[in-house]
Copies of this chain bind each other. A is one copy, B any other.
Amino acid sequence: MNRKIGPNQSQRFTKPPEDSEQLNPEPLKLFKNKEIREQVLLGLHQKSVLSANDFSAEQITELVKFAASLESLEISKAHPLDGKIAITAFFEASTRTRCSFESAVLRLDGKIISIPEGSTTGVKKGESLEDVGEMFNAYGDLVIMRHTATDAIARIRQGLRLPIINAGNGTGEHPTQALADWYALIKWRPALIDPDAALSLKLGILGTPGSMRAVKSFLLMALKFRDKIDSVTFISEMADPLGDEIKEAIRSAGIDYTVSNDMGKHLPELDVIYMNSIVCVGENYTAMDSSYKLNKDSPLKEGAVILHPLARLDELDRSLDDSPHNLYFSQAHGAVFIRQALLICILGRLNTMPREVPLVP
């Protein structure tokens, strides 16, 4: 197999899984229109990212193309984040997300002040998040925060004058996870961002968007692509896995949706299955809806793909890892690049990009 692969990918995929050509092609070659509209991305300068709704469809589209450039080209010599400090404030611990952001920053030559576990902080002393925000103003250029409390982002912003990226707030949102999800999906179906292409995807969600922040952000971002989405099927043991806010959002987007507890019935129709068995309840994690399990013998539609923000228990069997349904590894790997794209925009360093990156005014 004559795989053409960009320099940033080469390291990651020295031992590519089967069908990697389909799941991990050279990203920049995917898109009919490779040109990145700089004007759209400039709108993200110094912006905070709290919700998937903070992005327009246009911004997501340009971020995805920009991320594909970063994944395909070698841009480290541009030192895009030289002199910038990101504070990774994980008041709720997480390896995956913290390391993904720290890797993104370090590969761009930025620096990190890391708070790997917030319980090791003054918050233990009863300190208010407002004051923490006030202090962070002096320490860095950007805050990336995760917290067990849903209102934590709002509270810290009362003191904070730096941009902040919400990396997961209680049962709220996790918008950059949604960016990673849709980056993987758009690489899988570039038609999602091609206005001339017809597409009618059936999305399935195993889980509870009402209490799973990653699922919620995924869904809210899905609504930005309403023209390409036929329907959403929620498979959950709960009577109402959505809650009013999410139901209203889907309704206004004009997308059909179904709630069911019968996975077997719906699975063979779905093009995209989003899974996440873990839900954050206060300080702890609970497995939810874990009776819905997928393995290589599950009746998946041919060509269907599975997304999972990982940290899996047994709901997603490793027998699927080598199958063409596995889009979750691409989702995990791409997260670094879409986060790099976002960081460069927020920190105002698009001007450092080498000319190989196809930016147009």
A contact set with B: CB distance below 8 Å:
11-15, 76, 83, 85, 87, 90, 93-96, 99-100, 102-103, 106-107, 111, 113-128, 130-132, 134-141, 161, 278, 285, 287, 310-313, 318, 329, 332-333, 335-336
Report how far A119 CA is from B106 CA in the complex, Å: 23
Q: Which residues of chain B are within 8 angstroms of A115 by Cβ–Cβ distance?
A: 95, 99, 116
Give the CA-CA distance A198 to B100 in the complex, in Å: 53
Contact A114 B116, CB 8 Å, known A125-B278, A126-B313, A287-B126: yes
Interchain CB contact under 8 A, B85 and A103 = yes
Q: A333 vs B96: C-alpha distance in the bound complex, in angstroms? A: 31
A11 to B13, CA, bound (A): 40
Known: A14-B161, A117-B120. A99 touches B139 (CB 8 A): yes
B12 touches A138 (CB 8 A): yes
Q: Which of B106, B137, B138 is A111 in contact with, Cβ under 8 Å?
A: B106
Partner of A95, one of B107, B128, B132: B132
A332 touching B83, Cβ below 8 Å = no
Report whether A113 and B106 are in contact in the complex, using a CB–CB cutoff of 8 Å: yes
Q: Which residue of B lies closest to A332 (CB)?
A: B135
Contacts of A127 in B (CB 8 A): 96, 310-313
Chain B residues with Cβ under 8 A from A137's Cβ?
12, 333
Q: Are A124 and B310 in contact (CB under 8 A)?
A: no
Please tell me how many copies of the chain the complex holds: 3
Among A11, A107, A117, A120, residue most surrounded by chain B Cβ atoms (within 10 Å): A120
CB-contact partner of A107 in B85, B119, B121, B126, under 8 A: B85
Q: How far is the CA of A139 from the CA of B111 in the complex (A)?
A: 15
Give every chain B residue within 8 A of A15 (Cβ-Cβ). Answer: 161
The chain B residue with its CB closest to the CB of A46 is: B14
Q: A124 CA to B138 CA in the complex, in Å?
A: 32
Report yes or no: B122 in contact with A95, Cβ–Cβ below 8 A: yes
Other than the given A14-B161, A100-B138, 13 more pairs (CB < 8 A) read A85-B106, A93-B119, A94-B121, A99-B135, A106-B111, A116-B120, A117-B117, A122-B310, A124-B285, A126-B313, A127-B311, A137-B333, A138-B336
Once bound together, how far apart are the Cα atoms of A94 and B120, in whole Å?
6
CB atoms of B312 and A128 under 8 A apart: yes
